Amino acid sequence: MRILVTGFGPFPGAPANPTGPLVRALARKRRPAKDGVTIKAHVFQTRYRTVDRALPRLLKTYKPDALIMFGLATRSRAIRVETLARNRISHHPDAGGFTRGPSRIDEAGPRTRAARAPNAALLRALVRSGLPARLSRDAGDYLCNYTLWHATCAAEDDDGPKLAAFIHVPPLSARITPERLVAAGEAIIEAASAALRRRRR
């Protein structure tokens, strides 16, 4: 079972993004061989063109069974399991100063796409980890939402990942520490792996 975990680098207003170190730590974690799970980490530059190039390449070369994406929600106080990608892009510039919106991601596409992930199971796993967590129907209108939209499209293809989840994490704090984020990420991976095994039965 192959799982691709992704995060982002800094962006305007967030000079330090905890999702990059988070996904690298998740890929380094040792798991029992019987789990049969391999994890690859990738950290996107927070740029539209980077996502456009890198995401299709990663999916083609690694062929993950599951894609678990992490992004930073600077104003959130809880971890959010995103359930919808919205067909919209804001006017906010990316880390390279490039502005793509305001516009739709796909002029011919629907207003929303449902994330192809066991969202309730992911939420339960997060709650058990002890951090505040909730489901969300609004992934924003920046690169997190943009990446979720394209990942959801890929998961609808027969040869795409069977599962594509997006998790927004809040800024680090006395409660949301790097160590606790890694524990929460581990819980997400375990829940996703269990969901994939159930699909194979």
Confidence of residue 201 (pLDDT cuts 50, 70, 90): confident
Does residue 86 or residue 31 have the better pLDDT?
86
H or E segment to which residue 169 belongs: strand 163-169
Report helix, strand or coil for 82: strand
- Residue 174: is it exposed, middle or buried by C-beta count within 10 angstroms (0-12/13-18/19+)? exposed
CA 57, CA 62: separation in Å to the nearest integer? Answer: 8
CA 167, CA 72: separation in Å to the nearest integer? Answer: 9
Residue 33 confidence (pLDDT):
47
pLDDT digits (tens, 9 = 90+) for 87-135: 999 999 999 999 999 999 999 999 999 999 999 999 999 999 999 999 9
CA 151, CA 153: separation in Å to the nearest integer? Answer: 5
Kindly state the tokens that stand for 85: 């990608």
CA 155, CA 132: separation in Å to the nearest integer? Answer: 28
Q: Nearest to residue 119, comparing CAs of 69, 82, 155?
A: 82
Residue 151 has pLDDT above 80, yes or no: yes
- The owner of tokens 């380094």 is 28
CA 64, CA 72: separation in Å to the nearest integer? Answer: 23
* Mean pLDDT, all residues of the chain: 95
Residues across the chain = 201
Q: Which CATH superfamily is domain 2-200 in?
A: Peptidase C15, pyroglutamyl peptidase I-like (3.40.630.20)
pLDDT digits (tens, 9 = 90+) for 49-97: 999 999 999 999 999 999 999 999 999 999 999 999 999 999 999 999 9
Task: Transcribe 136-167 into DSSP letters.
Answer: ES---SSHHHHHHHHHHHHHTSTTS-SEEEEE
Q: Are residues 55 and 144 in contact, defined by beta-carbon separation less than 8 angstroms? A: no
